[in-house]
Chain A
Amino acid sequence: MTSLMQAAETTSWNGIGTSARRPDGLLKVTGRFSYSSDLWVEGAVFAVTVRSPHAAARIVSVDVSRALALPGVRAVLTHEDVPGAKTYGMKLADQPVLAVDQVRYHGEPVALVAADDPQTARRAADLVHVEYAPYEPVTDPEAALLPGARPVLGSDNLVRHVKIRHGDLVAARELAEVVVSGDYEVGMQDQAFLGPESGLAIPSEDGGVELYVSSQWLHKDLEQLAPCLGLPPDKVRLTLAGVGGAFGGREDLSVQAHACMLALRLGRPVRMVYSREESFFGHVHRHPARMHFEHGATRDGKLVYVRARLLLDGGAYTSTSPVVIANACYFAAGAYEVPHAQIDGLAVYTNNPPCGAMRGFGAVQSAYGVESNLDRLARELAMDPLELRMRNAMRTGTVLPTGQEVDGPAPVRELLASLQERPLPAEATGERDLRTLPGGVANTTHGEGLRRGIGYAVGVKAIGYSGGVDDVSTACVTLEVAGGRPVVSVHTAAAECGQGVTTVQAQIAGTELGVTRVVVVPADTRVGDAGSASASRMTWMSSGAVQGACRLVARDVLARAARVSGRPATVLALVHDGVVDSLTGDRVCSIVDLLGDDRIEHVHEYHHRPTQGIDPETGQGDAHIAFAFAAHRAVVEVDVELGLVKVVELATAQDVGKAMNPLAVEGQIEGGSAQGLGLALMEELVVDDSGRLRNPSFTDYLIPTMLDVPPMPISLFELPHPDSPYGLNGVGEPPTLSSTPAIVNAVRAATGLDLPRAPVRPEHLTGTMPAGNRAATPAALPAVTPPPGTAPGGQPTRARH
Chain B
Amino acid sequence: MRVTTTVNGETRHADDVSESESLLYLLRERLGLPGSKNACEQGECGSCTVYLDGVPACSCLVAAGQAEGSDVVTVEGLAPGRDLDPVQEAFVECGAVQCGFCTPGFVVSAHDLLARCPNPGDDEIREALAGNLCRCTGYEKILDAVRCAAGRMPSERSTV
Contacts and interface: CB of A to CB of B under 8 A. Distances in A.
Interface in B101-160: 101-104, 107, 123, 125-127, 129-143
Nearest to A192: B135
A573 interface: no
A194 B41 CA distance: 12
A245 interface: yes
Interface in B71-104: 74-76, 78-79, 84, 88-89, 91-95, 97-104
Given A698-B45, A706-B129, A707-B130, A30 B76 contact: yes
A766 to B, nearest CB: 25
A442 to B, nearest CB: 11
Contacts of B125: 706
Contacts of A500: 98
A666 B141 contact: yes
A368 B128 CA distance: 33
18 contacts: A19-B95, A26-B92, A29-B97, A31-B75, A32-B35, A119-B18, A193-B135, A194-B134, A195-B39, A195-B101, A196-B39, A245-B136, A433-B123, A498-B136, A667-B140, A698-B42, A698-B133, A705-B133
A398 interface: no
Given A29-B88, A707-B126, A35 B141 contact: no
B59 interface: no
A666 B98 CA distance: 11
Given A195-B99, A712-B140, 4 more contacts: A35-B34, A196-B38, A245-B136, A670-B140
Q: Which of B36, B39, B129 has the most CB of A within 10 A?
A: B39
Given A276-B41, A698-B44, A706-B125, A31 B76 contact: yes
A703 B133 contact: yes
Contacts of B36: 31
A40 B33 CA distance: 12
Contact of B44 (A26, A498, A669, A697): A697
A675 B92 contact: no
A194 B95 CA distance: 18
Contacts of A29: 75, 84, 88-89, 91-92, 97, 100, 103-104, 107
Contacts of B75: 29-31
Secondary structure dominating the interface of B = loop
A800 interface: no
Interface in A449-467: none
Q: Which of A243, A247, A709 has the most CB of B within 10 A?
A: A709
A354 to B, nearest CB: 21
Contacts of B74: 31
Measured as residues with beta carbon below 8 angstroms from the partner, the interface class of chain B is: 35 or more
Contacts, number: 182
Measured as residues with beta carbon below 8 angstroms from the partner, the interface class of chain A is: 35 or more
A31 B104 contact: yes
Nearest to B129: A706
Which 4 residue pairs spanning A and B have beta carbons closest together? A31-B35, A498-B99, A28-B100, A670-B138
Contact of A32 (B37, B39, B76, B134): B76
A433 to B, nearest CB: 6
B135 A119 contact: no
Nearest to A705: B130
Contacts of B33: 31
B140 A666 contact: yes
A604 to B, nearest CB: 27
Contacts of B141: 663, 666-667, 670
A631 B135 CA distance: 21
Contact of A30 (B20, B29, B35, B132): B35
A247 B135 contact: yes
A667 B98 contact: yes
Interface in B8-23: 18, 20-21
A498 B99 CA distance: 4
B34 A671 contact: no
B92 A22 contact: yes
A669 B136 CA distance: 10
Interface string A433-452: 10110000100000000000
Nearest to B146: A706
Interface of B: 18, 20-21, 28-29, 33-42, 44-45, 47, 74-76, 78-79, 84, 88-89, 91-95, 97-104, 107, 123, 125-127, 129-143
Interface string A507-542: 000000000000000000000000000000000000
Nearest to B47: A194
Contacts of A22: 92, 97
Contacts of B100: 24-25, 28-29, 33, 242, 244, 498
Contacts of A674: 137-139
A150 interface: no
Contacts of A275: 41
B97 A194 contact: no
Contacts of A30: 35, 75-76, 78-79, 84, 88
A673 interface: yes
B130 A194 contact: no
Contacts of A435: 123, 126-127
Contacts of A709: 138-140
Interface in A689-740: 697-699, 703, 705-707, 709, 711-712
Nearest to A273: B38
B142 to A, nearest CB: 7
A25 B28 CA distance: 21
Contact of B130 (A28, A247, A706): A706
A497 interface: yes
